[in-house]
Amino acid sequence: MLKTLKTDFRIIFDRDPAARNWLEVLVCYPGLQAILLHRFAHWLHALGLPFVPRLISHFSRFFTGIEIHPGAVLGQGVFIDHGMGIVIGETAIVGDFSLIYQGVTLGGTGKETGKRHPTVGENVVIGAGAKVLGNIQLGNNVRVGAGSVVLRDVPSDCTIVGVPGRIVYREGAKDPLDHAHLPDSEAQAIRYLMDRIESLEQEVQALRQSPTNGQLPVTQTSECCHLKDKAIEQFLDGVTFSENA
């Protein structure tokens, strides 16, 4: 336990360039305070003690703005950056050295019993305002873009963005904090659709200008069009695509 607490403390200096000294981190970082209180509440919860773990959780929520159910399991080195509005459900599991920004929800999708909250792998980054819902699994080294809603399992080393979340990169990322360079899959799909509409309009125009001899002009469909059409189908199916994949 002492080793875990030391790791929770040290990881802040590795992940946050604003962390300057140990006193400032200990007193002014609600993410660290919420995790420390949760670890104590989780220990009491594991002992089967009634009421008190939830009271500690409620106390932590009141002072930090971060709600973590005592039953949730957090690995070592989990860093909650800022943290206001974070909700982590009872059966959620968060792997070692994961990074969670403000406004994140690791929640359920209904009134199921048993395991009903997400399982998050190691070294995962969940962007501000993202929602990960249901008994799903996020693999190791996954990045979830800010504001995304994840409803399906995500393999390791993937980046997922959008509502609902779609995988846009399948080879991991060197910089887990570089949200500014996440691709916009919706804009990409719309651009492909516009290109396809323009191509079809050109074909219609060619048909209108063709001689009325009962034969239609032969139009060649390029491989590029086939790739774009496939990308659109994948996007609509929720599978997702990437120019880098």
Which tens digits make up the pLDDT trace of 66-112? 999 999 999 999 999 988 999 999 999 999 999 999 999 999 887 77
pTM of the model: 0.76
Structure tokens at 221: 């469909």
> Could you tell me if 179 and 160 are in contact, meaning their C-beta atoms sit under 8 angstroms apart?
no
Instruction: List, in sequence order, every residue forming a beta bridge with 133; answer none if it has no partner.
Output: 107
Mark the ranges of the chain whose per-residue pLDDT is less than 70: 172-185, 211-245
The DSSP call for residue 154 is B
Can you list the domains of the chain with their CATH numbers?
A: 2-179 (2.160.10.10), 185-237 (no CATH)
Question: What are the C-alpha distances in Å from 40 to residues 44, 84, 97, 170?
Answer: 6, 20, 19, 37
- In angstroms, the first-to-last Cα distance of the chain is 41
Q: What is the pLDDT of residue 218?
A: 54
Q: What is the pLDDT of residue 245?
A: 43
